[in-house]
Structure 1
Amino acid sequence: MEWQIENKYRRLEDVSQEEMDALVSKVNSCSWRQTYHIQPISGLLNDPNGFSFYNGEYHLFYQWHPLGPFHGLKYWFHTKSKDLVHWENVGIGLRPDSYFDSHGAYSGSSIKHNGQLYLFYTGNSRDEHLVRHPYQCIAIMNEYGEIKKLEHPVIDKVPEGYTEHYRDPKVWKEGERFYAVIGAQRTDETGCSVLYSSPDLLNWNFEGEIKTGLREFGYMWECPDYIEIGEQGLFIFSPQGIEPEGEDRYRNIYQSGYVLGEKLNLDNKELMHGEFVELDRGFDFYAPQTMKDAKGRRLLVGWMGLPDIDYPSDQSGWSHCLTVPRELSIVHNKLVQRPVPELQLLRKTESQAADTVVDETKAFEGFSGTVYELICDFENVDASEFGIEFRAGEMEKTVIKYDTIQRKVILDRSRSGEKVAEDYGTERKCEMDSENIQFHLFVDSSSVEIFVNDGEEVFTSRIFPDISSREIRFFAKGGHAGFKAVKWDY
């Protein structure tokens, strides 16, 4: 036990260059390394942090444990981009080297103020008995990219009624005041979120718990994010401890979702909202964070992974990546996520196909690969099910399909290659009542993000096929289905 604890909190600064070089070399030899998704140079990536547009560039930090694919001592790693597509690794943004973050610089957000970027994060510390003491901390980045922590936390106590699970501040400005929501656990071990306010980002006042219609909804709410789109309030969070419902809902180990309703009443902390809806219908999506860019767009990036799940890339010394950026909008009182149009910069060779498949599975010239974007529109359908097999070979395939009898979209990774979290099932489903179906796929070496009907639903998943599994096939069962498809190599 002592060895595990020591190894978990081993510091990068205490590791030789030779050991680090060997780990990076091992990571780079992995055939599942991504090509256009943000991923760690070694070790484990998790929550996106500090997502912002500052000084003419997009900045994105993420939780990073550099020394292995497990949740150890967390740093913030900094990456930046001018176009949301081509990301430059800047390096470590925050080191866990102060008394208030000695056991990890945990998740948080950022906001521009007085020409600088303020990073608001949770410092994780533990005493000699390994009892956790969370602090809410500030670091400031100037226009030259230099980051300096404040010497002391700005919130140094957990209010009465809450446990040490108290983290992940998301900050915004309303009028002349700053506000932050923090994920929390009540002492009765139920999850919630609390509200703070500040005149200057340095002095914070505890306003109280946000009142929602979800009094007993899991045991911890992680990564809360309150935003407003038009005249509606949108509260995004990741509740832990939600039991599955039927075949379709809450099938992953932990969930991420949102409630949509009226704007948050900052005076009485009340949020009037509709039902909780999962943000993503796939296998691997958690801890998303949003930001508003200079164009006024509300953008979201998520962690393409989940806590407490083993992944095949672990054996190569690394784990996880981030999703592509998505633009959020509200359509017919529902949150819609669309891939940012900047991703079109990646498009290279184009291939097209159009046909009607009748009780068959067909392949077409130009439709194969391991890294690409694919848009396929199905119409004039009387088949009982139809869809696409991709990253397919003799023994492997990942399948996205529409079942016209159940009126459901189904993602099946039962034959996607190396197994992942099979205890939680190999299919993900959601209802969609539509005559025409569009599947928009972003496929990378070990992942897929599928936007259905222009972002009405999204399925995000890691897959770990053999590098030889490259085929794309279109199929229909129990009738015919017409389709038009276009593919771009990346």
Structure 2
Amino acid sequence: MVLKHNHLAERANRAAEENQAAVNEDPYRLSFHIQPPSGLLNDPNGLVYFKGQYHVFYQWNPYETNHGAKYWAHMASPDLVNWEELPIALTPSEPYEKNGCYSGSAIVNDGRLYLFYTGNVKNEAGERETYQCMAVSEDGIHFEKKGPVINLPEEYTAHFRDPKVWKKEDKWYMVLGAQTLEKKGAAVLFSSRDLENWKHIGKIAGSGMNGLGDFGYMWECPDLFPLDGKEILLISPQGLKPEGFQYQNLFQSGYFIGQLDEKKESFAHGAFAELDRGFDFYAPQTMHDHKGRRILFAWMGMTDEQEPYQPTVSYHWIHALTLPRELHVKGGKLIQTPVEELRALRRNEMKKEVRIEAEKATLSDAACVRAEILLEDIRLDGNSLTISLREHAFLKFNVTEGTLQVERPDFKDGQPETRSCLLEKLEKLHLFLDTSSAEIFVNGGEEVFTLRYFPSPENEAISFEADGGASFHLRKWELGT
């Protein structure tokens, strides 16, 4: 077991080293996000605070920029800002995971760190098998695999994965994403006293339950947690059809606010709401940290037909994680705000009052490539405000229509594509711009747009235009670790 893991880890590290020169030449390499050394990154896994550090694992294909057999890469930080790459935590070294160590979670128990994940297998007949597995570490770096702790219940297809584990009172619970035999998405609950022997409680939410109609053919990456007197179920449903401004990406990520009744096998909840309105956001997961906060990371990417056309592919890497976000419930809605630790990235503050009349206002120094920009007290005299991000992506608010829209060129053919949400009033914008990413927090985190974009490296300007005039208070910082 250990020998094969070590062999696979060494092989992955060699692949990363061989690609490092090309990766380092990429002008779109990010500056303050978690990103793979090379290859493909996708879902965040195992978010946990353990022995004085934040630990974030992620799905990693070290060899190619497509979705092959996944490893668990491992990052740690004392402050959510300065990240250290640790040895690879999990490799697909065992028969029950030979086609990938898929997504999962982490918990701390009796001073040890436990990882729960899905072992993915394609058998000789080409059929999928799935196993929910456990690994344990004393030091948070080296993990001993304990093997499968849950096999597939007969009520579900082999699309049964992504265990999230937590403790309530004296019992452990696990929620999994699932597909029923009728090809309907669901969230399934288990319980345990010892983390090794798990009881199948049943399906607690899904298509056809709690007032939902047909709601996707598979639910991925569930997360269930208490927050501000409510209980939140995060889920990433696949197979939703677009409805107006909703569900515009190939796959979606969102949440239900409700109440879990473990004994009645139910999670009574309200309507589904999307977490992020942008192009590149999927598989969000959370942790509860030592400060009592609920912190979220997500995959800043998407599996769709545009994925192979991202320009970083030619430099042998693709995708990143979002910045960490603190969650709260306010007015029946999940609010996301950048964690306060990110202020440590700030350099060279600029403050100014901006008044736009006949001409547009422009910020044209290099600090706009990696910058935090805060617009407050936004007042529009006319019908619209447009913010140009390096003349490549555009944020547009329309007063009459009550919409906020983000536009960028399609990676495949360069044609404009948009994502939008309804917004009654625009009062505050908080932008985090990295070399090739933007995370836009609207009205204190009421809405968020996350996107990758790839402007000309020579274009460093941010500009503002208003139809009829506008004013706002602007603060800007350069960002760097």
1:410 aligns with 2:405: yes
Which residue among 231, 251, 256 is the counterpart of 2:253?
A: 256
What is residue 236 of structure 1 aligned with on the other side? Answer: 234
SS at match of 1:259: strand
SS at match of 1:60: strand
What is residue 448 of structure 1 aligned with on the other side? Answer: 438
What is residue 6 of structure 1 aligned with on the other side? Answer: none
Distance 1:450 1:202 in 2: 42
Using a 3 Å threshold, how does the CA distance of structure 1 residues 81 and 252 change in structure 2: closer, same or farther? Answer: same
Distance 1:17 1:328 in 2: 35
1:165 aligns with 2:159: yes
1:176 aligns with 2:174: no
SS at match of 1:437: coil
2:89–2:141 contact (8 Å) kept in structure 1: no
Which residue among 454, 471, 475 is the counterpart of 1:482?
A: 471
Structure 1 unaligned residues grouped into runs of 5+: 1-10
Structure 2 unaligned residues grouped into runs of 5+: 1-6
Amino acid at match of 2:436: S
Shift in Å, 1:315? 1.8
Which residue among 266, 285, 295 is the counterpart of 1:289?
A: 285
Which residue among 441, 444, 450 is the counterpart of 1:460?
A: 450
1:12-411 to structure 2, matched below 5 A, reads 12=8, 15=11, 20-143=16-139, 145-150=141-146, 152-156=147-151, 158-211=152-205, 212-213=209-210, 214-246=212-244, 248-261=245-258, 263-308=259-304, 309-310=307-308, 311-364=310-363, 368-392=367-391, 397-411=392-406
Distance 1:378 1:40 in 2: 38
Distance 2:302 2:453 in 1: 14
When the two structures are superposed, what TM-score results if normalisation uses the length of structure 1? 0.92
Please identify, of 424-433 and 276-285, the stretch whose mean Cα deviation from structure 2 is larger.
424-433
2:156–2:178 contact (8 Å) kept in structure 1: yes
SS at match of 1:249: coil
Distance 2:130 2:414 in 1: 32
List per-residue Cα deviations over 1:247-300 (Å, max 9, x = no partner).
x11100100000112x20111121121111000000000000001000100000
Which residue among 417, 429, 432 is the counterpart of 1:426?
A: 417
Amino acid at match of 1:488: W
Using a 3 Å threshold, how does the CA distance of structure 1 residues 359 and 83 change in structure 2: closer, same or farther? Answer: same
Shift in Å, 1:402? 1.3
1:367–1:487 contact (8 Å) kept in structure 2: no
Across the two proteins, how many residue pairs are aligned to each other?
A: 466
Shift in Å, 1:316? 1.5
Shift in Å, 1:14? 8.3
Amino acid at match of 1:360: E
1:353–1:364 contact (8 Å) kept in structure 2: no
Using a 3 Å threshold, how does the CA distance of structure 1 residues 333 and 139 change in structure 2: closer, same or farther? Answer: same
Using a 3 Å threshold, how does the CA distance of structure 1 residues 154 and 422 change in structure 2: closer, same or farther? Answer: farther
SS at match of 1:26: helix
Using a 3 Å threshold, how does the CA distance of structure 1 residues 100 and 336 change in structure 2: closer, same or farther? Answer: same
Using a 3 Å threshold, how does the CA distance of structure 1 residues 35 and 427 change in structure 2: closer, same or farther? Answer: same
Shift in Å, 1:422? 6.5
List per-residue Cα deviations over 1:185-229 (Å, max 9, x = no partner).
011111111000000111101111114423521110000011111
Shift in Å, 1:312? 2.2
SS at match of 1:373: strand
When the two structures are superposed, what TM-score results if normalisation uses the length of structure 2? 0.93
Amino acid at match of 1:299: I
What is residue 4 of structure 1 aligned with on the other side? Answer: none
1:358–1:481 contact (8 Å) kept in structure 2: yes
Amino acid at match of 2:325: R
Shift in Å, 1:16? 9.1
